[in-house]
Amino acid sequence: MGNAKSIIQILTLASSCAVRWSLATSPSSPFVRFWNSLGELQAAAVISALVLTIGAVVEYRDKLNHLARLALKWICRKSTPYERCVFKKLMIHSVGPLLVVFGIAGELVFESRTFIVEDKQEEEARQTVGSLRQEADEADQKAKAAISDSSIALTKAEGALSKSEAAEASLGKAEAEAKGAQIAASNALTLASSARKEADSFERARVRLERKIADRILSGEQQTRIKSALEAASLGGQHATVVWYSENFEAARFASQIESAIGAAHWVTRLGPTNPGVNVGVLPVVSGVLIMTEPPDRSKKAGDVLFKALRNEDVAVNVMPFERGTVTPMYLKSTDPEDSRILVIVGSHP
């Protein structure tokens, strides 16, 4: 069990170092191309889970082999009372290894299935975007055709008015033709306006969908605006910890950009991954960004200021307090950096 925990800690540390190194490395390097390839990362994750499963089985092979032999004898009703007693005690002492093996094997199975479902959903989203783009192009063609028809109708109206001036005897007929042409032109312009609105509606839907499936990014201008908002609150020296789940590269990059903007405002920051398997019951499952504050007033103010700054940049963000039970009035007014710290959790893409 100790060896398994050591392996997990080493892998988590390696993931953190790899993320920092890749962010500082040229995009044309082979490692960065591999690090930014979703398919290759998914395959690497499955292979890693398989290696962990094999390692766990090898680690506990003696206990598992002994347990399997005793279980087979017990099922076949060939075990002695002594062997049944040994089997029960071995079962109790092997709960940990069994949970480790089954847990890692389950992660391999479900993680593989998760990657398959994610690829399928991404392909469906791309098909939807293509369909919306095609419909927008068709609506634009209809609008152009309607505008062309309106131009022809206006030309006919002008011709009818010229005829009315040239021949007083046919004045009534010319006026009727002019009115009809003007009505046709008005109808054509109405159709063109409707087609344009429909094309704009499809375009907005396409842009919203593309924004939803694209990676979250804070540009340099956005980070500067966040920095200015935090500096205006006069909270220099405020402590903030920014974390993400270690298996999510998109969240790691977005967390690094948030941490850069906060650190530029002279806040004291810490950046690192977290493991949802270790923090079950402590940190919530997050979609988007979640800011968690401590009871002191300074922590609440810092959380609200950062929440507004991120929300102004169209970041999906929420804020909530830690549940600390009953606290004293002196603790609420505390200015100690550790008492008034905030935690920023960057979760999955909403």
Yes or no: say if 12 and 246 are a contact pair by the CB < 8 Å rule: yes
Mark whether 64 and 111 lie in a shared domain: yes
**Boundary of a domain, candidates 126, 156, 175:** 126
Q: How far apart are the C-alpha atoms of 25 and 17, rounded to whole Å?
A: 12
Residue 174's CB: how many other CB atoms inside 10 A? 20
Tracing tokens 């800011």 back to the chain, one arrives at: 291
| 242 is a domain residue | yes
pLDDT digits (tens, 9 = 90+) for 38-90: 667 667 777 877 887 787 777 777 777 777 887 887 788 877 887 778 777 77
124: left (phi over 0), alpha (psi -120 to 50) or beta: alpha
Residues 323 and 230 in one domain: yes
Instruction: Note whether residue 325 is domain-resident.
Output: yes
State which residues form the domain around 260: 220-346
User: Residue 131: inside a domain, yes or no?
Assistant: no
CA dist., res. 151 & res. 142, Å (int): 14
Regarding whether 147 and 255 lie in a shared domain, the answer is no
Which residues have CB under 8 Å from 340's CB, separation 6+? 238, 239, 294, 296, 297, 298, 299, 302, 334
What is the pLDDT, as a whole number, of residue 76? 87
Q: How far is CA 144 from CA 169, 188, 194, 230, 277, in A?
A: 38, 11, 12, 49, 57
CA pair distance 99, 112, nearest whole angstrom: 20
Please state, in angstroms and rounded to a whole number, the distance separating the CA atoms of residues 280 and 234.
35
Tokens of 138: 């068709």
Indicate whether 162 belongs to any domain: yes
Confidence of residue 223 (pLDDT cuts 50, 70, 90): very high
Mean pLDDT of 191-198: 74
Q: Is residue 24 predicted with pLDDT exceeding 60? A: no
Quote the number of domains for the chain: 3
Confirm if 319 and 304 have CB atoms less than 8 A apart. Answer: yes
What's the CA gap between 101 and 53, in Å, rounded? 6
Q: Are residues 24 and 119 in the same domain?
A: yes
Tell me, yes or no, whether 286 lies in a domain.
yes
Selected residue with higher pLDDT from 28 and 193: 193
Would 94 be classed as within a structural domain? yes
Residues 21, 110 within the same domain = yes
Q: How big is the CA angle at 106 (ends 101 and 109), to the nearest 5 degrees?
A: 130
Based on the domain organization, do 119 and 142 belong to the same domain?
Answer: no
Q: In terms of domains, do 230 and 185 share one?
A: no
**Does any domain span residue 278?**
yes
Backbone phi and psi for residue 317, each to the nearest 5 degrees, phi listed first: -140, 145
For residues 305-323, average pLDDT: 94
Does residue 123 have a pLDDT over 80?
A: yes
Is residue 202's pLDDT more than 60?
yes
Residues 291 and 273 in one domain: yes
Last residue of a domain, one of 74, 106, 126: 126
Q: In terms of domains, do 86 and 192 share one?
A: no
End residue of a domain, out of 164, 191, 213: 213
Whichever domain contains 306, its CATH number is 3.30.70.2390
Do 143 and 227 belong to one domain?
no
Regarding whether 149 and 68 lie in a shared domain, the answer is no
Residue 258 predicted with pLDDT over 80:
yes
Residue 280: pLDDT band by 50, 70, 90 thresholds? very low
In a shared domain, residues 66 and 97: yes
Distance, in Å, from the CA atom of 252 to the CA atom of 272, rounded to the nearest integer, reads 8
